Structure 1
Amino acid sequence: MSFDRETLTRAVAEHGAVARVVVAEVKGSAPREEGAAMLVWAGGQSGTIGGGALEYEAAAKARDMLADGGDDRLDRMPLGPALNQCCGGAVVLLSEVWGAERLATLGDGTVIARPLPGTTGEMPLSVRRILNRARGEGFRPVPRILHGWMVEPVTAPMRDIWIWGAGHVGRALVSVLAPLPGLRLTWIDTDAARFPDVPEGVVRKIAANPADLVPDAPGHAEHLVLTFSHALDLEICHRLLGHGFGMAGLIGSATKWARFRSRLKALGHADGQIDRIRCPIGDPSLGKHPQAIAVGVATEVLKAKTAQNSQKERAG
């Protein structure tokens, strides 16, 4: 998890001052991990720190902060004794009030570090080293409390996912993937009328022949091909094999893939390269409803995090 500066900025612009509640520390079993956060304002909230009594209590305290103009607070909460939850662990929640003026102090760094309520003195050397590594090496620490300071990486897209097709499955898939952190979605089709309302943060691309946009994709991008046309699907796969990609998946049956393999081989692609495209994608046991297909494909996407990205998130 990470500090989502863009979402916080939008919330402040819409609601004025908002409270951000982040799980700063976890001991034992807890509903969410360190870095999980929610935003709270007078009439609502977004995000979650796990629901249940913990979230209800934290949201109420956050609204009291906003109403009273109170200072940031740090709450150490044993989940069993204090809230009668069955998790059995304990969490430390950091609640901070953010407004436009405070946001302006963040700068453009990739790591947010600030003292916890009650902490005084200069920034510890350990925190300074993390900030230096972030600037010099692109290091991304895990969210945590370190010597009285809260350290969080800023949310940044870790993976580029290109979704080819705005039909029923494409729409369902975007609705599932768009809220997830760390993904930058690019959504392609032939006509603006084929798109519903595009979720905030999703890049929409339109081309009479979407395959012509393949050269625009980063070489590390992951592709999900599910257009309305088998011929277009084949052309996109053909061009992706010539362009390079991190991952490529094609919607379809085993029969469709056997036909595509034969045609891609006739177009000059070696078996080893063709085998990099996965088809079918998703989980057939979930059924053929667009949302069911999307859930299966999204599960594969989440499981396909590279070892490099996972290591970056765990480092530190």
Structure 2
Amino acid sequence: MTKPSSETWHAALHQCQRSGVPHVLATQVTSAGSTPREPGARMVITQGTVYDTLGGGTFEWQTIHAAREFLQQGRDGFHLEAFTLGGRSGQCCGGFVNVLLEVFLGAEVNIAIFGAGHVGREIVNLSAPLPWQIHWFDSRASVFSEQDQQQPRLNCYTLNSAQEGTLALPSACHALVLTHNHDEDYALITALLQRYDVASIGLIGSESKWASFKGRLQREGYPAKEIERVRSPIGCVHNAKLSNKTPYAIALTVVTELLLLTDKPTSLETRGLEPNALRALIDDTKTTQS
């Protein structure tokens, strides 16, 4: 069921972009004949809410339905929809419009950070401009400030247990373990190894710390293939060892490593609107203006 909102499309687009909510920006790009609104009219559509309007009626409902279908199918990018108001939409005004749907699937990358110490906080700060959804855990509830909990795309949680925290993670999440306690780190590593859908597991610490953890995992019966899922120490980009051990420097290497892990190469095939759709749109505009 569509839930309308009185919020303008400008404000809604800003909020959706900041929060990482999947959404569609619908823009009326051409008009011919009698139409409810003129080119430039916009609305923002999410799975549960619509913001602003293209004029109402069946045509708008069909626009919302098409937008939500693209969200459901995970088809991001540009899509052009043509509406003959007297035909496809059954509206008495009888005009013709083209609507450009810009589909944003929200934050595609989820990062879980276990630990809100100096390094964890620097990682969160450096990640803020990136389109990542951050899930930040710490067993010390007092470490999260009110400002932390108001940041876009940042979700703060009190970690009651390793099992509970890891079960809450979304699929394909990249997890970083860097708490203030080695026992807590180990409990989180073993819990994360039970999540076969986690994209990657990183552990902060020295090589000796990882050697200790690895030996313990082997003694507890974890197979080598499972143990190899853990990346430690984190931030060793191209196996380079950093001599600068400040939290900011470590965080820089960790975020760089995450960028490499989450990067998706762009196809060199045609991008954006299909050429035929764009050509038809330009031809329609010329016909309307003549």
TM-score class normalised by the smaller sequence: 0.5 to 0.7
Runs of at least 4 residues off by over 4 Å: 3-7, 130-133, 143-151
Q: Deviations over 1:185-240 (max 9, x none)?
A: 11111122122431233111113444542222234221000001111111110111
* Cα distance change of structure 1 residues 109 and 236 upon mapping to structure 2, 3 Å threshold: closer
Equivalent residue number for residue 296 of structure 1: 253
Q: Secondary structure at the match of 1:161?
A: strand
* Cα distance change of structure 1 residues 219 and 154 upon mapping to structure 2, 3 Å threshold: closer
| 1:295 positional shift | 1.1
Equivalent residue number for residue 220 of structure 2: 267
Cα distance between partner residues in 1 of 2:202 and 2:173: 12
Unaligned ranges ≥5, structure 2: 1-8, 18-37, 51-58, 83-97, 274-290
Equivalent residue number for residue 282 of structure 1: 235
Q: Deviations over 1:23-74 (max 9, x none)?
A: xxxxxxxxxxxxxxxxxxxxxxxxxxxxxxxxxxxxxxxxxxxxxxxx999x
Unaligned ranges ≥5, structure 1: 12-70, 74-95, 97-101, 113-121
Equivalent residue number for residue 224 of structure 1: 176
Q: Which amino acid aligns with 1:195?
A: F
The question of whether the paired residues in 2 share the 8 Å contact of 1:190 and 1:210 is answered with no
The question of whether the paired residues in 2 share the 8 Å contact of 1:161 and 1:223 is answered with yes
* Cα distance change of structure 1 residues 194 and 132 upon mapping to structure 2, 3 Å threshold: closer
Equivalent residue number for residue 70 of structure 2: 134
The question of whether the paired residues in 2 share the 8 Å contact of 1:163 and 1:224 is answered with yes
Equivalent residue number for residue 46 of structure 2: 108
Q: Secondary structure at the match of 2:262?
A: coil
Equivalent residue number for residue 255 of structure 1: 208
The question of whether the paired residues in 1 share the 8 Å contact of 2:173 and 2:200 is answered with yes
When the two structures are superposed, what TM-score results if normalisation uses the length of structure 2?
0.59
Task: Describe how 1:44-55 pairs up with structure 2 within 5 A.
Answer: none
In the alignment, structure 1 residue 235 sits paired with structure 2 residue 235: no
Cα distance between partner residues in 2 of 1:144 and 1:292: 42
Q: Deviations over 1:64-101 (max 9, x none)?
A: xxxxxxx999xxxxxxxxxxxxxxxxxxxxxx9xxxxx
The question of whether the paired residues in 2 share the 8 Å contact of 1:4 and 1:155 is answered with no
Q: Deviations over 1:83-125 (max 9, x none)?
A: xxxxxxxxxxxxx9xxxxx6xx423269x9xxxxxxxxx99xx
Task: Describe how 1:155-234 pairs up with structure 2 within 5 A.
Answer: 155-181=105-131, 183-196=132-145, 197-198=147-148, 199-234=151-186
The question of whether the paired residues in 2 share the 8 Å contact of 1:157 and 1:184 is answered with yes
| 1:243 positional shift | 2.8
Cα distance between partner residues in 2 of 1:315 and 1:209: 45
* Cα distance change of structure 1 residues 285 and 297 upon mapping to structure 2, 3 Å threshold: same
Q: Which amino acid aligns with 2:14?
A: L
Cα distance between partner residues in 2 of 1:189 and 1:231: 14
% identical equivalent positions = 28
Single out whichever of 285-294 and 295-304 deviates more from structure 2: 285-294
Q: Size of the alignment, in residue pairs? A: 215
| 1:134 positional shift | 1.2
| 1:4 positional shift | 9.9
When the two structures are superposed, what TM-score results if normalisation uses the length of structure 1?
0.55
* Cα distance change of structure 1 residues 175 and 246 upon mapping to structure 2, 3 Å threshold: same
Larger radius of gyration: 2
The question of whether the paired residues in 2 share the 8 Å contact of 1:160 and 1:184 is answered with yes
The question of whether the paired residues in 2 share the 8 Å contact of 1:254 and 1:279 is answered with yes
The question of whether the paired residues in 2 share the 8 Å contact of 1:191 and 1:207 is answered with yes
